[in-house]
């Protein structure tokens, strides 16, 4: 099993810190594939998806070479129908949502979600992912203005800058924070202080016991960040937590086969950073 939203939700299920609402569009085969029972085994995951009977659930096939470079074969299927979802009808108590992550799907869907989340007053993380190069400049700028955090890998952040004709300093006039993932080089937290000074913090990767498959590592990182934000941790600690979670993801083959719990997370956080945030200690 996979998919950006599913991968993030799976890790949030393992962490089991708070209720999570998984929204999207799936096909007529979603239940027969076993995905529904697979993800709803977590009691904190609320599955709030539209089932499109005329389509199959989106499918992605990833081929790795010996250097772990990936070739992706993707069929959107029902995912393309996400553009017709109205979050205002699905979310009854928006004040209960700490954050929403608007992750990779069709441009029209991501645009609609950004507008609806702004109307619902739910803080948004913008995660354009692989489709970043396809965004028109005006739409990118509009979504950035509605976002608190921009997250992506180095290529994706560079594409955002290229498409908008803005450097990181000027993007930070639109969003509060940029989080850049850099593979084996770790990640980078970029933010601006009240005095307009820009700060950059490098976050090293957390060491995994073994590296089997990097698929879904970025989604694990995002789940860690969301957990940190839910717990009201600092952004730095949230990003470090993201690094910890992603290290568990790469220890097994596939994006949703890892097993760990919050106790394992605390131990690896301590081993990696020599402290444990109080928000994690008290769980």
Question: Do residues 174 and 186 make contact, with C-beta atoms less than 8 angstroms apart?
Answer: no
| CATH number of the CATH domain containing 250 | 3.40.1190.20
DSSP state of 63: E
pLDDT in tens, 103-158: 999 999 999 999 999 999 999 999 999 999 999 999 999 999 999 999 999 999 99
Q: Phi first, then psi: what are they for 20, rounded to 5°?
A: -130, 135
Q: Which domain covers residue 136, as residue numbers?
A: 4-281
Distance of alpha carbon 179 from alpha carbon 127, whole angstroms: 10
254: left (phi > 0), else alpha (psi -120 to 50), else beta? left
pLDDT at site 68: 66
How many structural domains comprise the chain? 1
pLDDT at site 137: 97
Nearest CA to 243 out of 193, 202, 206 is that of 206
Burial of residue 16 (CB within 10 Å: 0-12, 13-18, 19+) is middle
Intervals of the chain under pLDDT 50: none
Distance of alpha carbon 24 from alpha carbon 2, whole angstroms: 13
Q: Mark 83-116 as b/e (b = at least 16 C-beta within 10 Å).
A: bebebeeebeeeeebeebbbbbbbbebbbbbbeb
pLDDT at site 62: 77
pLDDT in tens, 50-77: 999 999 999 988 787 877 677 888 889 9
Q: How far is the CA of 222 from the CAs of 50, 53, 69, 150, 168, in angstroms?
A: 23, 30, 21, 11, 20
């Amino acid at each position: 099993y996979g998919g950006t939203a599913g991968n993030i939700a799976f890790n949030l299920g393992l962490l089991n810190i708070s209720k999570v609402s998984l929204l999207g569009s799936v096909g007529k085969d979603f239940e027969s594939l076993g995905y529904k029972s697979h993800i709803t085994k977590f009691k904190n995951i609320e599955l709030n998806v539209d089932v499109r009977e005329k389509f199959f659930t989106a499918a992605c096939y990833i081929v790795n070479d010996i250097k772990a470079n990936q070739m992706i074969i993707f069929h959107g299927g029902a995912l393309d129908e996400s553009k017709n979802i109205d979050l205002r009808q699905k979310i009854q108590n928006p004040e209960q949502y700490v954050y929403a992550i608007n992750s990779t799907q069709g441009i029209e869907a991501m645009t609609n979600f950004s507008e609806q989340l702004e109307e619902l007053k739910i803080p948004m993380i913008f995660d354009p992912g692989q489709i970043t190069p396809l965004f028109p400049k005006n739409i990118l700028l509009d979504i950035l203005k509605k976002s608190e955090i921009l997250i992506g890998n180095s290529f994706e952040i560079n594409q955002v800058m290229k498409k908008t004709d803005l450097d990181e300093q000027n993007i930070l006039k639109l969003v509060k924070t940029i989080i850049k993932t850099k593979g084996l080089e770790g990640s980078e937290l970029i933010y601006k202080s009240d005095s307009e000074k820009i700060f950059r913090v490098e976050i090293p990767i957390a060491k995994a016991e073994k590296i089997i498959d990097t698929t879904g590592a970025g989604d694990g990182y995002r789940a860690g960040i969301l957990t940190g934000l839910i717990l009201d941790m600092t952004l730095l600690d949230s990003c470090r937590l993201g690094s910890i979670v992603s290290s568990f993801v790469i220890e097994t083959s596939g994006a949703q086969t890892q097993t760990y719990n919050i106790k394992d997370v605390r131990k690896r956080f301590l081993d990696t950073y020599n402290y444990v945030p109080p928000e994690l200690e008290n769980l």
